[in-house]
Amino acid sequence: MQRIPPLPALRAFEAVARLGSVVKAASELNLTHSAISHQLRALEDMLGLRLFDRQGKRLSVNESGRVYAMQVRHALSDLSRATGTVVARPREDELVIGTIPSFGAHWLVPRLPHFTSAYPELKISLRAGLQVADLEAEGIDVAIRMGHGGWDRVQQRELFADRLVAVAAPHFNGGRLPRTPAEVVAAPLLLSIENWRPWQEAAGLPANALHGIHFNDSNLVLEAARRGQGVALSRLSLVHGALLDGQLVQLTRISVPYPNAYWLVWPARSAGRARVEHFGQWLDAEIAAYLANVSGFDAEDTPFE
């Protein structure tokens, strides 16, 4: 392998070429002006060519320096990514779990202490995001996704299907809650990406356009509902805890299937890992208990009387 210039010299050179100033480069790298100048001279001496044109104390990158700076910048970026990847890789005593934010906040987090108490030796890292994460690149051991399955480069299995229910706070409208489907859709609504049309059809109502406050996040919808600001159509998995503790009430027994299911996914490197197996088994038990508990919330497709 040919001799590679010292990393400090390359970093100094790239910073000066990018910023156009030794003073600015020194400030960015937390070095002195003379240290930066020394690194530049050492790099040019090692390469045997000039990277800058000098006019008095002023430096300007020449054509050779410009081309070299672009290549050095890419190389430093590759080093940074490689370092981030290896640092992010989970340790044997760490379990990194990915999840969509709404499910994580309203279903997983309330139950997570059960898992941590069962496996106190594991360090848990929970990462929430709306984007489909690259589990391998981001060092995630196992993740919960919502969709139809069929994702590339991960192993996967379906966890459970969800349902949509109409909910409101018990103090909404001064406690005078809508009870019929027509009253529900006539109330102030908290609208999100959830489609009311199947619910309207199940209720025997025309699928008319609905009006209300629009939100782009399920967590905001549920916060507004808890504060009594309107009626929300939400996944049962997200509101089940709030229904049990009385923060929300289900307005009718009408529920409709949610089009996407929850899935457990994991990269090939996680297959057979004890910590991943433990999490999957614990999750299955929690889901079984949850599904047995929610059977009363969506047992009938008829309004409360």
Domain ranges of the chain: 7-88, 91-305
Which pLDDT band holds residue 302 (cuts at 50, 70, 90)? very low
Closest alpha carbon to 182 in 200, 163, 202, 164: 200
Q: Are 243 and 168 in contact (CB under 8 A)?
A: no
**Higher pLDDT pick, 234 / 269:** 234
DSSP code of 91?
P
Domain 7-88 in CATH 2.40.50.140? The answer is no
Which pLDDT band holds residue 299 (cuts at 50, 70, 90)? very low
Within 194-252, residue ranges assigned H as helices are: 197-202, 218-226, 236-244
Distance between CA 123 and CA 92 in Å, rounded?
9
> How many residues appear in the chain?
305
Distance between CA 53 and CA 61 in Å, rounded?
6
State the pairing for strand pair 189-191/212-214. parallel
Mean pLDDT of all residues in 11-34: 90
Name 232's Cβ contacts closer than 8 Å, sequence gap at least 6: 166, 167, 168, 189, 190, 192, 221, 222, 224, 225
Whole-number pLDDT of residue 207: 87
Whole-number pLDDT of residue 87: 59
Say whether 54 sits in a helix, a strand or coil. Answer: strand
Mean pLDDT of all residues in 92-112: 93
Min mean pLDDT across 1-10, 43-52, 203-212 is at 1-10
Alpha carbon separation from 134 to 14, 141, 143, 267 (Å, rounded): 30, 11, 10, 9
Which tokens sit at 277?
């197996």
Handedness of CA 285, 289, 294, 296 (dihedral sign): positive
Mean pLDDT of all residues in 171-185: 96
Q: Are 137 and 253 in contact (CB under 8 A)?
A: no
Domain 91-305 in CATH 1.10.357.10? The answer is no
Residue 288: exposed, middle, or buried by beta-carbon count in 10 A (0-12, 13-18, 19+)? exposed
pLDDT, averaged across the chain: 90
Min mean pLDDT across 82-91, 109-118, 177-186, 252-261 is at 82-91
Handedness of CA 292, 293, 296, 301 (dihedral sign): negative
pLDDT at 295 over 90: no
Name 29's Cβ contacts closer than 8 Å, sequence gap at least 6: 11, 12, 15, 36
Using a pLDDT cut of 70, give the percent of the chain over it.
93
Mean pLDDT of all residues in 64-81: 88
Model pTM score: 0.70
Q: For residue 82, how many C-alpha atoms fall within 13 Å in the half-sphere facing its CB?
A: 6
Whole-number pLDDT of residue 285: 97
